[in-house]
Amino acid sequence: MSWLNKLLPPKIKRDPRTSKASAVPEGLWSKCPACEAVLYHTDLQANLQVCPKCDHHHSLNARERLDMLLDAEGRREIGAEVKPIDILKFKDSKKYPDRLVAAAESTGEDDALVVMQGSIHNMPAVVAAFEFRFIGGSMGSVVGERFVRGVQAAVEARAPFICVAASGGARMQEGLNSLMQMAKTSAALQLLSDYQLPFISILTDPTMGGVSASFAFLGDVVIGEPGALIGFAGPRVIEQTVRETLPEGFQRSEFLIEKGALDMIVDRRELKLRVATLVALLMKEAQPVSA
Amino acid sequence: MKPTFLDFEQPIAELENKIEELRFVQDDSVLDISEEISRLQKKSQELTKTLYSKLTPSQIAIVARHPQRPYTLDYVDGLFTDFQEMRGDRSFADDPAIVGGLARFNGQPVMVIGHQKGRDTKEKIARNFGMPRPEGYRKALRLMRTAEKFGLPVMTFVDTPGAYPGIGAEERGQSEAIGRNLYEMARLKVPVIVTVIGEGGSGGALAIAVGDYVNMLQYSTYSVISPEGCASILWKTAERAGDAAEALGITAPRLKSLGLIDRVVNEPLGGAHRDHAAMMTALKRVLQEQLKEAGSRGLDELLKTRFDRLMSYGRFKEDAA
């Protein structure tokens, strides 16, 4: 609540549920956090959630991401049967099962990774996308298992595996089992290598901690989205450790490409075709035609 | 070396002080007080036994960081001969937070790699408190590759608060260095035996801890995040580290029961720091056995078992499709 609200006498205070302002449908307009331009929601959506004024890449949820990368026809979800459990009876200020339920209600997903088999510009592919809104896109047992099942499906179909990361790191509530998902997902990529199948790793805002320090940088091609925060330790932790102010743009895609950590930064509006182009080159196939 | 006592060990410390005083008086005393001394010594031992039989996870986390606990180079001294330290990652620097090199174990050539903490302030700083930078992990990988080329088993010793969260470490690809090790170790074509000797701090520990056998010393810890870090995120205060330690399940017996490690190696009474020699003997027996078993299993089977185990990590339920 802002200071202004606190000053207002209770009668004048607006209840957001009854206020007349809610007559305007929610989400019709939104403000770009980067350039503060007020944007018409439909425009933003048509532009893949990239600000038409300043090219700021707004976050996408997992299914929007899959929609954007995969062709509309012939999709099949992989690993949806795998569901989370509370191994440790973990409880902090909230019980882990309660967190899972709350995250499921607010996202419509049951864990932080959605994997789909389908095609990209008519080339078969398996794509995994993180759902950041689900407990910070954290990687626990379900994320690890769905990732591996996705890799296995790619191997069976002799198709490339593409992963779009957006994660704060490992899922603390699953203890050491979540740390082991780093080893599990990284090891699984050996299966792709066995069959010369490409792994394209796309890092979006943010890709940190245990996800960053496992499969994320093991891509045959590692792509960053513009402006994405990507790193092992979070900026706050680093600042507390080194007691220095961090350099401008530290851990952003543009910084990482300078340091040699990324192959390329790709604008989301070109991403699908670029991924298809890369896969076709690596798999010695004809250049795909944009649909 | 005079032992350093931890907070919860204060009753033992008091007894030990008393014994020390009596010993001092004994020299110029006409009375024979040796009986009294041995009575107190026995009492001190029993007290240690009781205290250590019911340590909480957060107390174990403190023992795991005990300043006199044996570090990797102590194990190198105690368990190996002909150690030849090999330094540097060949592209940027040598990271003293990870040490490694060729050595003999019972006469058999092996590659030893481990995190290394410092004893005194100067060495602590030089070794960055055992927190490696990317070049440390790249050195480790280089040594593993050398081991693979010559068919030498790899033995790693894990003891780190975590990979270093610094500006340079990020610039040089801390994430990539850790991830690369996880990928390569999954298929390294020689036996890999891992022992957590102190702190197993998150990805920084895991980056040299993928292997065929994973052991933990009785009072070591292995965790996805430090109890302090977890508490400050989930409880919004590092003061709840005790609760976090409990919730995360970071102790050797707990992780053994979860099926995440193979073996708990018992420590001498009062912890490894009380009796380095006894600790060496206990660990040597285990490593000997595992090395022999690994040698008899054949590489294909070894690699398949290692890979299958990696794929089996994690617990979830599966709904009928």
- The residue range of the domain holding B179 is 59-310
Q: Is residue B321 part of a domain?
A: no
Q: What are phi and psi of A95, to 5 degrees?
A: -75, 145
Identify whether residues B145 and B35 lie together within a single domain: no
Please give the angle made by the CA atoms of A47, A48 and A52, to the nearest 5 degrees.
Answer: 35
Using a CB-CB cut-off of 8 Å, the residues of chain A touching B161 are none
Return the pLDDT at A172: 96
Return the pLDDT at A242: 87
Q: What are phi and psi of B81, to 5 degrees?
A: -125, 165
In chain B, the residue whose alpha carbon lies closest to the alpha carbon of A144 is B314
Average pLDDT over residues A264-285: 97
A35 is in an annotated binding site: yes
Tokens of B313: 């990590």
Q: Is residue B87 part of a domain?
A: yes
Using a CB-CB cut-off of 8 Å, the residues of chain A touching B235 are 92-93
The residue among B138, B164, B175 with the most chain A CBs within 10 A of its CB, best to mutate, is: B175
Return the pLDDT at A22: 44
Q: Is residue B251 part of a domain?
A: yes
DSSP letters of A51-92? -TTT--B----HHHHHHHHS-SSS-EEESTTEEE--SS--BS
- Measured between its terminal Cα atoms, the distance across chain A in Å is 48
Domains belonging to chain A, first-starting first, are: 27-57 (no CATH), 59-281 (3.90.226.10)
Q: Is A253 on the interface with B (CB under 8 A)?
A: no
Identify whether residues B116 and B225 lie together within a single domain: yes
**Chain B from 159 to 198: CB within 8 A of any A CB:** 163-167, 169-176, 178-180, 182-183, 186-187
What is the percent of chain A with per-residue pLDDT over 70, rounded to a whole number?
90
Using a CB-CB cut-off of 8 Å, the residues of chain B touching A251 are 170
Residue A1: pLDDT over 90:
no
In chain A, the residue whose alpha carbon lies closest to the alpha carbon of B308 is A184
Q: Which residues does B35 contact at the CB level (< 8 Å), separation at least 6? A: none
Q: Is residue B67 part of a domain?
A: yes
Minimum distance, in Å, between the CA of residue A184 and any CA atom of chain B: 5
Q: Is B308 on the interface with A (CB under 8 A)?
A: no
Q: Is residue B319 part of a domain?
A: no
Tokens of A76: 């099949």
Q: Which amino acid belongs to residue A164?
A: V
Identify whether residues B47 and B64 lie together within a single domain: no
Return the pLDDT at B23: 83
Identify whether residues B29 and B174 lie together within a single domain: no
Q: What is the mean pLDDT of chain B?
A: 94
Identify whether residues B35 and B143 lie together within a single domain: no
Residue A26: pLDDT over 70:
no
Return the pLDDT at B127: 98
Contact B206 A183 (CB under 8 A): yes
Identify whether residues B249 and B293 lie together within a single domain: yes
Q: In terms of Cα–Cα distance, which of B53, B67, B112 is closest to B283?
A: B112
Identify whether residues B24 and B67 lie together within a single domain: no
Identify whether residues B82 and B166 lie together within a single domain: yes
The CATH number for B114's domain is 3.90.226.10
Please give the angle made by the CA atoms of A141, A80 and A99, to the nearest 5 degrees.
Answer: 55
Q: pLDDT tens-digit profile of A73-126?
A: 999 999 999 999 999 999 988 999 999 999 999 999 999 999 999 999 999 999
Q: What burial letters (b/e) apply to A136-159, b meaning 16+ CB within 10 Å?
A: bbbbbbbbbbbbbbbbbbbbeeeb
Contact B319 A83 (CB under 8 A): yes
Q: Which one of B206, B249, B260 has the shortest CB-CB distance to A182?
A: B206
Residues of chain B scoring pLDDT < 70: 1, 321
Say how many domains are in chain B: 2
Cα–Cα distance, B247 to B243 (Å, whole number): 6
The residue among A91, A93, A176, A217 with the most chain B CBs within 10 A of its CB, best to mutate, is: A176
Residue A5: pLDDT over 90:
no
Q: Is residue B178 part of a domain?
A: yes
Using a CB-CB cut-off of 8 Å, the residues of chain A touching B309 are none
Average pLDDT over residues A67-72: 97
Contact B179 A232 (CB under 8 A): no
Identify whether residues B67 and B177 lie together within a single domain: yes
A163 is in an annotated binding site: no
Minimum distance, in Å, between the CA of residue B243 and any CA atom of chain A: 8
Minimum distance, in Å, between the CA of residue B202 and any CA atom of chain A: 7
Q: Is residue B318 part of a domain?
A: no
Q: What does each C-alpha distance from B45 to A13, B39, B64, B68 come to in angstroms?
A: 68, 10, 20, 19
Identify whether residues B176 and B34 lie together within a single domain: no
Contact B179 A251 (CB under 8 A): no
Tokens of B46: 């029993």
DSSP letters of B175-241? HHHHHHHHHHHTT-SS-EEEEEEEEEEHHHHHTT--SSEEEEETT-EEESS-HHHHHHHHTSSGGGH
Using a CB-CB cut-off of 8 Å, the residues of chain A touching B182 are 182-183, 186-187, 214
Which DSSP helix (H) or strand (E) runs through B248? helix B241-248
Identify whether residues B153 and B201 lie together within a single domain: yes
Identify whether residues B11 and B130 lie together within a single domain: no
The residue among A95, A173, A186, A207 with the most chain B CBs within 10 A of its CB, best to mutate, is: A186
Q: Is residue B78 part of a domain?
A: yes
- B224 near A210, Cβ under 8 Å? yes
A54 is in an annotated binding site: yes
Task: For residue A20, name the pLDDT band (cuts at 50, 70, 90).
Answer: very low
Return the pLDDT at A96: 96
Q: Which residues pair with A163 in a beta bridge?
A: A128, A201
Return the pLDDT at A8: 55
A32 is in an annotated binding site: yes
Higher pLDDT, A10 or B153: B153
